[in-house]
Amino acid sequence: MNDTDMLARLVAQAEGEGSSLIMIRALVEEASDLGAARALDRLGLSDPKAERDLRELRELLRAWRDAKKAVRSAVIGWMVRGCLALMLIGIAVKLGLFAMVKG
């Protein structure tokens, strides 16, 4: 018996019994399982390798985010160093240190 047959049987039984709480819960559970299986099938995630594939995709996404964070930190670091170097050059010009070096 497949999932759709089980769901059809539960619906028929619920109609015949007047829908007890247990029957409604069983009906909802079977419908949920069937819907989840259909959704996974439509996404192409119903095969046995899907769990491993998703794990690999998560690792790849985590690595991408870590790389972006590292690049952002490096760029900001170099910008700060550049600004500090420009400030030191400006201070040296203001104090006339270049004129003292020339002669």
Q: How confident is the model at residue 19 (pLDDT cuts 50, 70, 90)?
A: low
Q: Could you tell me if residue 39 is inside a domain?
A: yes
Q: Could you tell me if residue 74 is inside a domain?
A: no
Domain residue limits at 11: 1-46
Q: Could you tell me if residue 99 is inside a domain?
A: no
Q: Could you tell me if residue 78 is inside a domain?
A: no
> Among 34, 38, 54, which Cα is nearest to 46's?
38
Q: Could you tell me if residue 55 is inside a domain?
A: no
> Among 2, 44, 39, 10, which Cα is nearest to 27's?
10
Q: How confident is the model at residue 48 (pLDDT cuts 50, 70, 90)?
A: confident
How many structural domains compose the chain? 1
Tell if the pTM clears 0.85, that is, is over it. Answer: no
Is the pLDDT at 66 greater than 80? The verdict is yes
Q: Could you tell me if residue 4 is inside a domain?
A: yes
Mean pLDDT of 77-86: 98
Q: Could you tell me if residue 13 is inside a domain?
A: yes
Mean pLDDT of 30-47: 89
Segment 30-33 long-range contacts (CB within 8 Å, at least 24 positions apart): 30/3, 30/6, 31/7, 33/3
First and final CA of the chain: distance in angstroms?
Answer: 99
